[in-house]
Structure 1
Amino acid sequence: MPGLFERTPDGGAALTLDPVEISILRSLSVQLLELVGPGTEPSDDPFAELFAEGPSAPPSDPVLRRLFPDAYGGPGDRETQELKEAAAEFRRYTENDLRAKKREDALAVVHALDALPTASDGSGRLHVQGPAAQTWLRTLNDLRLALSTRLDITAEDDTDALYRLPDSDPRKPMVMAYLWLGGLQETLVETLLP
């Protein structure tokens, strides 16, 4: 099946992408970079960076709330002032680092796609292993979370209904990307299992 990861003899994973697939993955990764934000300017003082405080309130964008959920409480939990304060405190000291890691991962995916040696038909063969494979897994997961939030997928039934969308539905391309990313993520996990 084209466009899915396969195990390689060296324990890594390989994927052949056509020009459209490269373009989609690159575009989605760049959009993720833009959504997560540009980050902060590096400081000359590494200790100041280490103890820099981040935001304490959850992001207003639903995708960012999904990518950076509150650490305390969850669906069905009664939201108490104590939980709100604990979540705000945790977010203040972790969100900047989480954002930086997501930016680093998405940028690595973009760079890998840009560096792909391409065949005469424009296709490219990607090979990942070790830390690079983990980077790809994290970015594929973030992309799927972003798309599932935009598609309002909250339960398995929601996904089933999306399969039946007519081709004329404007969500259809996003649904196809979501399903394809799921296949990429699943096959990458399978190739990396011992």
Structure 2
Amino acid sequence: MPDRDDTWPFEDAPNLACFTVRSIMNGTAPILYVSHDDDDGAWQMLTSDAADMSQAMLVALAELVERDRTLVELADMPLGWTASRADASSPWMRREPVIRPRKEAVVYFELDDGEALHEEAPETFYIPPREQRANLQPGQLAKLVFRIEHDETVDVERMWVIVEQVTPTGYIGSLNNQPVSTDELQVGALVPFGPEHIIQIYDDE
């Protein structure tokens, strides 16, 4: 384990305990998702943002860096940010937090489950087939249902996002509409979402 000196790229000590999962430590899965938590400064090195935390372990930061040297690229990642990649050979894509912790947030949003909405009204609430929703590529447009909470009110808006990256659990998109109900959520905000949230796919043909 390296000493904390000029060659160590992280501000945190090499022996800082970090969250990871057994599949990473036994070599059966790569690190595809990294979180630098805003509340306590902890690092999480996981297989995805939906990793099975029943298999969680605490491992020294230096040991994780030794296993995956690409983590050095994330050493300066600010608190609250995350990074993900499609596979071990893909570049890391950093994601700035869209929302501050809820207790301080001016605006907070959730995405409605489009599949659940379709099940409630299959004859009138149409969504694209699962195969299409699960195979979008960067640059495509998908419409999502945002439930936006602000000033003690909740507004529902259907807005388009541009797929920026495909992730192990879905996509990272950038908001392509300015919400009508608030100025706190801006065009370009990054929005993680899954196939289940998609209610429409833009077709320019």
TM-score, normalised to structure 2's length? 0.27
Higher helix share goes to which structure?
A: 1
Higher strand share goes to which structure?
A: 2
TM-score, normalised to structure 1's length? 0.28
Q: Choose between structure 1 and 2 for higher RCO, CA contacts under 8 A separated by at least 6 residues.
A: 1
